[in-house]
Structure 1
Amino acid sequence: MAHYLYLVRHGEQLDAEHGMPDGPLSPRGRRQAELIARRLSGVPFNAAWHSPLRRAEETAQVFREVMPSLSLQPSALLFDCIPSGPSPDMPHAFQSFFHSITPAEIEAGTAQMADAVDEFFAPAREDRHDLLITHNFVIGWFVRHVFDAPQWRWLGLNQANAGLTIIRVRSAKPPVLVTHNDLAHLPAELRTGLPEAQPF
């Protein structure tokens, strides 16, 4: 049986560039949410969850407007978090990211993502399609899990706002990454949330 996870990063947050920890969607973020919701409107979702943070909740509200029969529930397992801390095998270039991160934040994020994998990667006994509206680091951790990569490898796995990642969970074999950060539903001017390209 096929169990698919449809991972959607929330739309662009209003004033995100000013470092606000959470906030409403920008007009562009709402349009991003509308387009990804319309793209997925034909999927027979069995269940749908979203992060309780405002930017993810408002993205979920747009999904409800496009798919009125979709029942979306908040899940603390999808909160934005720091999935793991620095490790000896991590490239030195990532060290600076952790300068303002506390051990308590890392401990909480590690526990959260362990529970999230147990919850959402459970094999299904029938065909199943689940929607998860969440955050960049959470999706990066799930992709890292698919490849059983080193724990630090979620760093640098970036998802655009309203990007689509699909994972197939299997019972007797490791999960499979079907698509990662698919932006086919977004015109170029709505593709936001990725790191700025650095000149060489």
Structure 2
Amino acid sequence: MNRLLLALGCGLLSFAISAPAPAAEPEAQAMRTIVLVRHGNYEADPAIAEKIGPPLSPIGVAQARLAGAALMGLPVHFDHLYASPMQRARNTAAVIASDFPGRKFEVIEDLAECTPPTRRTEATKDENPADLIACKDKLDRVFARFFKPASAGDQADMLVCHGNVIRYMVTRALGVDTTAWLEMSVGHASITTIRVEADGRFKVIAAGDAGHIPPNMRTGTTGDPARSLAIPLLLELPEAESAH
């Protein structure tokens, strides 16, 4: 009997040692909100390296201030703030940061402006095909990094970047042909909001929302006229008639 009990005990001990550990509980997922802000207006300057690009124009600064006020008023806490390395985006982020005291933007190189492939080939006929593919690969990395459920409770991220970047992300979120991105137009300092549900589904809440910018200050969308904050010249007044 004692030998039987000893053998049974050794067998149970051996089973306990060799039994696989229970599988870890899958990490709970939560909702993530991504708010993409296009930079404000700028004036092209061929003397500045394309990689950096020109700074904001005066009206671009004003647009960024309006965007900052709108973002600060949203009923959401931004867990992370990111910006493109290009000057116009960094300027926009700096202006917005004034509405978020104590917060800093992290610069993400992959948020820089580029041109991905488009079905409107006439618009990219002068582009190097390798550059188009490299841009697509870079933007796909951005999508994979940010456009996924949160892992530690609901989360919101702000990305200050560029029109091409934003339009490409919208096509990815919608699950449509990404070469259709050029069929969309988003204005300067506009706000695009995309929600990633806990189960991985995407919801485009707003695309290119510019309601915080007065119509006579909107630029950057197809058909927008050039605008300026410069004081216009005074009209010449007719000389007063001589008194008789």
The alignment's TM-score, normalised by the length of structure 2, stands at 0.73
CA shift digits 1:164-186 (9 cap, x unpaired): 11000123242100011111110
Quote the Cα distance in structure 1 between the aligned partners of 2:172 and 2:93: 25
- Indicate the SS of the match to 1:82: coil
The answer to whether the aligner puts 1:130 opposite 2:170 as a matched pair is no
**Taking structure 1 as reference, are residues 174 and 113 closer, same or farther at Cα in structure 2, changes over 3 Å only?**
same
- Indicate the SS of the match to 1:40: helix
Quote the Cα distance in structure 1 between the aligned partners of 2:97 and 2:189: 15
Contact 2:148–2:200 (8 Å) recurs in 1: no
**Taking structure 1 as reference, are residues 78 and 26 closer, same or farther at Cα in structure 2, changes over 3 Å only?**
same
Quote the Cα distance in structure 2 between the aligned partners of 1:136 and 1:159: 6
Structure 2: gaps spanning 5 or more residues: 1-29, 225-244
CA shift digits 1:2-21 (9 cap, x unpaired): 210011000001x2398974
Contact 1:45–1:70 (8 Å) recurs in 2: no
Q: 1:12 aligns with which of 10, 26, 41?
A: 41
Quote the Cα distance in structure 2 between the aligned partners of 1:109 and 1:176: 24
Q: 2:147 aligns with which of 115, 121, 146?
A: 121
Q: 1:107 aligns with which of 104, 122, 133?
A: 133
- Indicate the SS of the match to 2:125: helix
Quote the Cα distance in structure 2 between the aligned partners of 1:158 and 1:17: 22
Counterpart position of 2:242: none
Deviation at 1:104, TM superposition (A): 2.3
Counterpart position of 2:88: 55
Contact 1:166–1:178 (8 Å) recurs in 2: yes
Deviation at 1:195, TM superposition (A): 1.4
Deviation at 1:39, TM superposition (A): 0.8
Quote the Cα distance in structure 1 between the aligned partners of 2:58 and 2:111: 23
Give the letter for the 1:63 counterpart. Answer: I
Give the letter for the 1:8 counterpart. Answer: V
Q: 2:192 aligns with which of 145, 159, 165?
A: 165
Structure 1: gaps spanning 5 or more residues: none
CA shift digits 1:140-196 (9 cap, x unpaired): 011101111112111121110001110001232421000111111100111100112
**Taking structure 1 as reference, are residues 195 and 19 closer, same or farther at Cα in structure 2, changes over 3 Å only?**
farther
* Paired residue total: 189
- Indicate the SS of the match to 2:114: coil
Quote the Cα distance in structure 2 between the aligned partners of 1:35 and 1:8: 12
Counterpart position of 2:215: 188
The answer to whether the aligner puts 1:30 opposite 2:57 as a matched pair is no
The alignment's TM-score, normalised by the length of structure 1, stands at 0.88
Structure with higher Rg: it is 2
Deviation at 1:69, TM superposition (A): 2.2
Counterpart position of 2:168: 141
The percent of aligned pairs where both chains have the same amino acid is 30
